[in-house]
Structure 1
């Protein structure tokens, strides 16, 4: 764990490329997340009624194609347009998506995630230009015809330009990845996937690349290995088990709880801090993920839809007939390999892991606060003396690790009989501007500062039992 004390991050710096990519991944996630139920419904429909399904039914299987071709892309476009331009943006995005759907031969998930927000942006800009310029009584006419005319133009653009470009790009990516599959080199994707995931780019990879490819393949063959290449909970389980047995005292205390939430709850962000604490353990993650993919390939196993969250329960629920052995072994093998490699790395590096330094730092910070000193420099995060009424936990999608952190911290406040403080969780970009304190993982700091340059931000490494959260609790108790 880091030995830094909590520090207020109010300085304005140029956002990093990683922060911008994280923001893009968060945006994609928030288009997909509200519609996950529809994707799962389609996956169940496919698993049950296609010719190779559990209960083949030619009549009911007729719904499989239209659902993936029309319903799912339209939902994505509608949601993306709404996120940018409200209800009018949602309508614009849906109009544009129809042009993509009609003009292509593949499920237009990626295209919908582009044209939806574009439609929302177009109508939002148009409404801004006409703000306070419409004569009274003409609002409905202008509002309706503006969407009609701009939607018509967007429809033509998506049908003639955007659709063909997306389809060509999709073909290129598909050919490249299928070449990896054909040559047996698909496990090499783990060299990219695992480092990207611990940098909180997991949603960019899954929602932006593998899910569209997986849905397309599932439509043709009833399942896809692409749903497993970045979502396997096995490597993370192996890493957390290794820290449970061979990590330092702090890791051994927190890792078991993280195992339950990661493996059963599907919130993979819980293991990211452990990799960041010991960067060499990424080797174990890569080895585990590669062995898992190789096992899936060996047994020709796949899932019928994207497991979101990436829980073992979601894996089993979305496993098609005849694939349970391969899926279970893929998760198990990944767990064992990751555990063995990570354990070896931890055993070879039996340093104190800054545990003593961390304890000294926390005690020193408490002493300073008791003396009434304010530490407000670039490397400290001491909460100021202003009243705290609203604390916002934020993460990539606002529905996983931040929810866990907010719930845990809220219970601690209740236990200490501290009242009058609102503690909620949000997607980073949705955090209320009047938040007194924003709590985020340190790797999401740059992205957070894109939207909140003047708010007080506390960075943590772990949403469960992080020393900085304990320090914040102590500060609130003192008040």
Structure 2
């Protein structure tokens, strides 16, 4: 078990900062995905071009009213009346509240929601998401700064009075500031981004976005792009036209499936053995992180992912297809549920063609290097060190001596008794939950008791964990969040030889 050395941490400084920013954006969006899905279903069913239409439910209600109550009608029901208020008000306010609460607990969330309303009304709802993602956390941060001088100095009995009035005052000020100043700025920014995306769509150059998106995913930088740009712009497009292909640029499960299938057929060693299971988790479960270690171990596969991702985007551009709401997690089931009416052919083809192109391109790379891969196979720890070196440096190492030196790094030594083990990732779900389940089963089979194994988001680490396990790209952030814990880096949450080392270390402690 190794930890990242200071020399390796420095090149990742900018990457870590971008990851933190993306994680914060993701923290505002992901808890509210259920609301996006609900809005997407309402939109897909009840808009005029929807599967049911706006008149179908009305006739059903009238029939039920007549059958049960003996006649009469309940009047016209406008189901599309739900679509606008949810997208313009509810979703942005949920995002603003969540962002404010992340910064300064519940009062920060309330202040953030009030401030976001200033942006929504001030710009007539056209910048609701980007505005909410700025106004919510920023107003909570202002409240936190504002109250800092008298923190813990309020006389007993006056806490509620002071806290409520200070929060109300900041909410008042930030709401006005958002209305008069932030709303025009955000409208200009949104118009600029929308025009850029529209130009890319009109010129059919949008597939080039995959050149940025696919490598960003592997380096865990996708949240900043997806939740910072695609989800807000896609939601606004969907509100206007009933669909958006922006939801599928990052979430399309086809490229990951194609790469894992290529490894299943033409891969070697542990990669080939674990790829089929990873493909099921990625394609059906929507946990894209599961295929990142394979790319880190063999960076040339990123070319296949880019080609497949671009093919999927181009297919949706040609067929003018898209989703009504974000597909989260990026499972094929989530994609199918969120397909806009009339977009089934284009969306399904985009997944199939993306997988096929990725499979072909990755297969060519695997076949070209098969002899070298077979010769190098044989030591899992050595392969993990290669992946770590390549990912940290951003390029392949040119000499076996550098790789061997990385593989021979000293084992981590527990400085305190290990009773709490935490798997941490960006969202605290998905890949970390799977890793926790694997290690939990190993500890149970070893007959070890009194050790808890849980999973959570890196941002929620509070320093109480005795041992924190993260993927290599996230270890630097986990160390900053929980510096007193023992940290273990793995290349693959699903199948790491380091789990056995952790079990042995815990067993030795129990027996000593």
TM (normalized to structure 1)? 0.92
Q: Establish whether residue 192 from structure 1 lines up as the match of residue 212 from structure 2.
A: yes
Structure 2: distance between partners of 1:361 and 1:84: 40
Any idea what the Cα deviations from partners look like across 1:128-152, whole Å, max 9, x if unmatched?
Answer: 3212322233222211211121111
Q: Establish whether residue 131 from structure 1 lines up as the match of residue 128 from structure 2.
A: no
Give 1:144-163 correspondences, 5 Å limit: 144-163=164-183
Any idea what the Cα deviations from partners look like across 1:45-82, whole Å, max 9, x if unmatched?
Answer: 10011111111116100111111000000000001111
Give how far 1:9 is off: 4.5
- In the other structure, the counterpart of 1:418 is 448
- In the other structure, the counterpart of 1:226 is 246
2:3 to 3, 8, 14: 8
Change beyond 3 A, Cα 1:133–1:387: closer
- In the other structure, the counterpart of 2:373 is 352
Instruction: Give the match's secondary structure for 1:426.
Output: strand
Stretch moving more, 122-131 or 139-148? 122-131
Change beyond 3 A, Cα 1:236–1:143: same
- In the other structure, the counterpart of 1:252 is 272
- In the other structure, the counterpart of 2:393 is none
Structure 1: distance between partners of 2:110 and 2:240: 30
TM (normalized to structure 2)? 0.86
Structure 2: distance between partners of 1:418 and 1:218: 52
Structure 2: distance between partners of 1:71 and 1:216: 14
Give how far 1:36 is off: 0.7
Give how far 1:474 is off: 2.9
- In the other structure, the counterpart of 2:472 is 442
Give how far 1:172 is off: 0.7
2:83 to 60, 64, 69: 64
Structure 2: distance between partners of 1:29 and 1:72: 14
Give how far 1:84 is off: 1.0
Decide whether the 8 Å contact of 1:233 with 1:310 is kept in 2: yes
2:458 to 428, 448, 451: 428
Decide whether the 8 Å contact of 2:463 with 2:484 is kept in 1: no
Q: Establish whether residue 403 from structure 1 lines up as the match of residue 425 from structure 2.
A: no
Structure 1: distance between partners of 2:242 and 2:288: 26
Instruction: Give the match's secondary structure for 2:249.
Output: coil
2:132 to 98, 112, 117: 112
Give how far 1:378 is off: 9.7
Gaps of 5+ in 2: 56-77, 385-406
Change beyond 3 A, Cα 1:475–1:211: same
Decide whether the 8 Å contact of 1:50 with 1:61 is kept in 2: yes
Cα RMSD for the two superposed structures? 2.1
- In the other structure, the counterpart of 1:288 is 308
Instruction: Give the match's secondary structure for 2:246.
Output: helix
Give runs of ≥4 in structure 1 deviating > 6 Å: 359-362
Q: Establish whether residue 52 from structure 1 lines up as the match of residue 49 from structure 2.
A: yes
Give how far 1:107 is off: 4.4
- Which structure exhibits the higher relative contact order, with contacts defined as CA atoms closer than 8 Å and separated by 6 or more residues? 1
Give 1:172-183 correspondences, 5 Å limit: 172-183=192-203
Any idea what the Cα deviations from partners look like across 1:305-329, whole Å, max 9, x if unmatched?
Answer: 0000000000000012221111111
Structure 1: distance between partners of 2:2 and 2:100: 37
Structure 1: distance between partners of 2:293 and 2:248: 22
Instruction: Give the match's secondary structure for 1:309.
Output: coil
Structure 1: distance between partners of 2:353 and 2:219: 24
**Paired residue total:** 462
Any idea what the Cα deviations from partners look like across 1:112-168, whole Å, max 9, x if unmatched?
Answer: 111111122122223332123222332222112111211111111111112211111
- In the other structure, the counterpart of 1:372 is none
Give how far 1:448 is off: 2.0
Structure 2: distance between partners of 1:383 and 1:233: 39
Stretch moving more, 231-240 or 442-451? 442-451
Stretch moving more, 51-60 or 350-359? 350-359
- In the other structure, the counterpart of 1:97 is 116
Structure 1: distance between partners of 2:383 and 2:332: 38
Instruction: Give the match's secondary structure for 1:235.
Output: helix
Structure 1: distance between partners of 2:296 and 2:344: 33
Q: Establish whether residue 236 from structure 1 lines up as the match of residue 231 from structure 2.
A: no
Structure 2: distance between partners of 1:138 and 1:343: 69
Gaps of 5+ in 1: 1-5, 363-376
Instruction: Give the match's secondary structure for 1:223.
Output: coil
Structure 2: distance between partners of 1:380 and 1:152: 56
- In the other structure, the counterpart of 1:368 is none
Stretch moving more, 52-61 or 178-187? 52-61
Give 1:281-360 correspondences, 5 Å limit: 281-350=301-370, 351-352=372-373, 354-358=376-380
Decide whether the 8 Å contact of 2:466 with 2:486 is kept in 1: yes
